[in-house]
Amino acid sequence: MKKILFAFLCLVIFVAACKKEISAPERPEGTLAEVGGVYITQGDMDNAVAAQTPQSQKYAKTSFGQEGVLDVLVREQLMTAAAKSNNIEQNPVYKNTIDGMQRDFDARLADAKKYNLIKILTDALRENGTIAVSQQEIDDYYKKYKYEITIRQMVIPSAQDAEAALRELNATPSASKQARFIELTKKYSVDPQADLDKGQLYTFIPGEYLPEIENAAANSPVNTVQGFIKTKRGFHIIYKVGEQNVTKKDAQGRIAKIIENQKLDKYLDGLTDKYKVEVYKSYED
Distance CA 60, CA 74 (A): 16
pLDDT in tens, 202-253: 999 999 999 999 999 999 999 999 988 999 989 999 999 999 999 999 999 9
Query: Do residues 237 and 156 make contact, with C-beta atoms less than 8 angstroms apart?
Result: yes
Instruction: Report the pLDDT value the prediction gives residue 201, as an integer from 0 to 100.
Output: 85
CATH of domain 147-247: 3.10.50.40
Name the residue type at position 18.
C
Once rounded to an integer, what is the mean pLDDT over residues 30-50?
Answer: 92
Name residues whose C-beta falls within 8 Å of residue 77's C-beta, 6 or more positions apart in sequence.
Answer: 35, 36, 38, 40
First to last CA, the chain: 100
Q: Would you say residue 255 has pLDDT above 90?
A: yes
Q: Give pTM, 2 decimals.
A: 0.72
Once rounded to an integer, what is the mean pLDDT over residues 143-147?
Answer: 96
The least confident of 90-104, 120-134, 194-208 is 194-208
Instruction: Report the pLDDT value the prediction gives residue 180, as an integer from 0 to 100.
Output: 92
Instruction: Report the pLDDT value the prediction gives residue 7, as an integer from 0 to 100.
Output: 44
Once rounded to an integer, what is the mean pLDDT over residues 63-75?
Answer: 94
Q: Would you say residue 8 has pLDDT above 60?
A: no
Stronger pLDDT, 26 or 71, i.e. the higher one: 71
Query: Do residues 213 and 231 make contact, with C-beta atoms less than 8 angstroms apart?
Result: yes
Q: Would you say residue 3 has pLDDT above 80?
A: no
Instruction: Report the pLDDT value the prediction gives residue 193, as an integer from 0 to 100.
Output: 60
Which phi-psi region, left, alpha or beta, contains residue 196 (left: φ > 0; alpha: ψ -120 to 50)?
alpha
State CA 59 to chain mean position distance: 34
- Looking at every residue in the chain, the average pLDDT score rounds to 88
Q: Would you say residue 14 has pLDDT above 60?
A: no
Q: Would you say residue 74 has pLDDT above 90?
A: yes
Domain ranges of the chain: 147-247
Q: Would you say residue 10 has pLDDT above 60?
A: no
Distance CA 56, CA 42 (A): 17
Distance CA 121, CA 128 (A): 10
Once rounded to an integer, what is the mean pLDDT over residues 94-104?
Answer: 97
